[in-house]
Amino acid sequence: MYWYLLIGFLLGNGMPHFLFGSAGKIFRTPFGKESSPRLNVGWGLFNFILATLLVWWRVSAQSPEISDLVFLLVGFWLVVIMFGVSLRMFISNKTNAN
């Protein structure tokens, strides 16, 4: 059950990194506050690949139940909310510095 929470978190975490990197924008990663677009694309892909491997591993062990899918959505939405809050702070820090 908690594996699906992690899978949702990884999917939600990979999305903004991949999108910012693909758009050529600098965005923070665990490797630095202002990581390059290339690093963000790589970090986003790493999250997607890890989530895919975990889904493959969990589904091969047993079919997901409704509660597992709820945990996946909770993990996804927690990271989306986290990024929504921190993205606003990140953008306001960039505009205040200029």
pTM surpassing 0.85?
Answer: no
pLDDT at 62: 86
Q: Which long-range contacts (CB under 8 A, 24 or more apart) does 89-98 make?
A: 90/27, 90/28
pLDDT by 10s per residue, the chain, length 98: 789 999 999 999 999 999 999 999 988 888 888 889 999 999 999 999 999 999 999 888 888 889 989 999 999 999 989 888 877 776 655 545 55
Give dist(CA 47, CA 12) in Å, integer.
9
Sequence spans of domains, the chain: 2-97
Q: How many CB atoms lie within 10 A of CB 79?
A: 20
**pLDDT for the residue 13:** 93
pLDDT of residue 45: 97
If you search the block for the tokens 């993205």, which residue do you land on?
87
Query: Three-state SS for 64?
Result: coil
pLDDT of residue 93: 55
